[in-house]
Structure 1
Amino acid sequence: MPRPRTPRVLVAAAMGAALLAGCSDGKAPAAPALPGSTCFGAFTPTELAPLMGTGEETQVDGPADVRLSAGRKSALCNIYVDGKTRFFAAAERLPQGQHFFWAPAVDEQKPEPLPFAENGKLWDSGAAIFLSCNGPTEAFELKLWLDGSTEQIKQEERRPLFAGLMKKYLEFAKEQTGCGA
């Protein structure tokens, strides 16, 4: 008669099976799919994929565009993966001459200047720009902000990623808001 297995052996077998099931094909868990155009239509899924990490469900919460006016002063976009924010983009239109101060939380990130923006900062998990605009009917100030989850990105790749995203976002937002028109 075979000897019955002890609970310790069963637990060890179950743990081993779980570990093998998680890496049976040798591939890392997949990043969730993004829609073809995200955050106001400014970014492609390929551009944002490094920030998405792994997960099953993606939700994009934000308007279709970033066309700001005197009546529509801000636009926010959040991309969630399994309910957690993985990427955030914001634009805010302020009255001309509005004074702007960088939040202490930005300075704690040891930011560096963005090379393509006079009043822009870049840090490991984001970037922000504050600029004066001459619009088609009036002058205004424009604040752009990007932030994302970077734990899955190598340290040396974080700032270049956000600099590239912000450069694209700046041009996109200037066109949509009429900044410089």
Structure 2
Amino acid sequence: MACDLPSGFALAPTYHAMLFFRFISGLPHGAYFGGAALVASTLVPENRRMAAVGRVFLGLTCATIVGVPLANWLGQAVGWRWSLCLVAVLGLLAMIMVRLFAPLALATTDASPLRELGALRRPQVWLTLGIGAIGFGGLFAVYTYLADIPGAVTHVAVAQVPLVLAMFGIGLTIGNIVVPMFAGRAVMRTAGVLLVW
């Protein structure tokens, strides 16, 4: 089933081409959320920054409740190309809304990419990046196979996979609402408890 919308995924001629497009589109993922968190934290008073960043990630966790199960269901109903077309349309709408509603922040006159990269000389930056990589890597390692595990291991009906995905998303969302309350008081202790959990 072909799609008339401009999505590298949906128009991929082979599975390997689709994986390549998926890899390329995933590269700016971390930078996007980092930038969104920075914008959110500059829009509120300092004592509300953790809550603002939590709200940014609330969009991601809400997507795991509604968007991912919907895309899974649509893929089962009419084919994966159409579910990827939906993702392309939503991505285009998101870009338009960011352009229209996100505040324009001009770079300072002394801004420099080399100066920013200089932060990589600090061990704390590498520790933070490592914690993020392990935490998110673990989360997405589980989430990647979440659609396959119910059918292959527990023999849940394929039609119920969207429900399993939504339940995982509800857990993420609850955590995303609760954790900023603790992180605002003790960031490192909260991060440590979460990683151990």
| TM-score under structure 1 length normalisation | 0.25
| TM-score under structure 2 length normalisation | 0.24
Q: Whose helix proportion is higher, 1 or 2?
A: 2
Larger Rg: 1
